[in-house]
Copies of this chain bind each other. A is one copy, B any other.
Amino acid sequence: MPDILHKIDVKSSPDQTYGALTTLDGLAGWWTTTTQGNPSTGGTIAFRFGPHGGFDMKVLELEPARRVLWQVVDGPEEWLGTKISFELRRDGDFTGVLFKHAGWKEPVEFMHHCSTKWATYLLSMKSMLETGQGRPYPDDLHISSRGD
């Protein structure tokens, strides 16, 4: 099964980077300002993107400053059941973030779009942690003719 893979190195500590992935304020600062829910293990976080829909993620695993694993429990059919992980690793003054969105059934065109869109959101997270200013929805970078 094809996966979406990314890596960015962020000039911040593993603790701070983990906070961007595991608090509502952190997530709202780089992915979508609408982030709501319970970001603890077993909780569900709702990410919404206005007319473009959204996702509900169940938090499966949290390992402080090391690892975050979510599973999609509501959202587009292609996303249902897929898993999203972030592995963090200290690298001098940086934290390396290895990202994987796994479990896609087929490499459909929507998967191509989501791969590029994930890159823009990871760049938004890097910017938020390094400069204090991310580009979460609705200020996200648009890459498609649909305006998302």
Contact = CB atoms under 8 A, between A and B. Distances in A.
Interface of A: 2-9, 91-94, 96, 98-100, 107, 109, 111-113, 115-116, 119-120, 122-123, 126, 141, 143-145
Contacts of A3: 2, 107
A107 B102 CA distance: 12
A9 B144 contact: yes
B113 A116 contact: no
A8 B116 contact: yes
23 contacts: A2-B3, A2-B5, A3-B107, A4-B5, A5-B107, A5-B112, A6-B115, A7-B109, A7-B112, A7-B116, A7-B143, A8-B116, A9-B143, A9-B145, A91-B145, A93-B145, A94-B145, A96-B145, A98-B109, A98-B112, A99-B112, A116-B122, A119-B120
Main secondary structure of the interface of A (DSSP, over half): mixed
Contacts of A113: 7
A91 B113 CA distance: 15
Greatest chain B CB density within 10 A among A116, A122, A144 is at A116
Nearest to A116: B6
B5 A111 contact: yes
Contacts of A5: 2, 4, 107, 111-112, 115
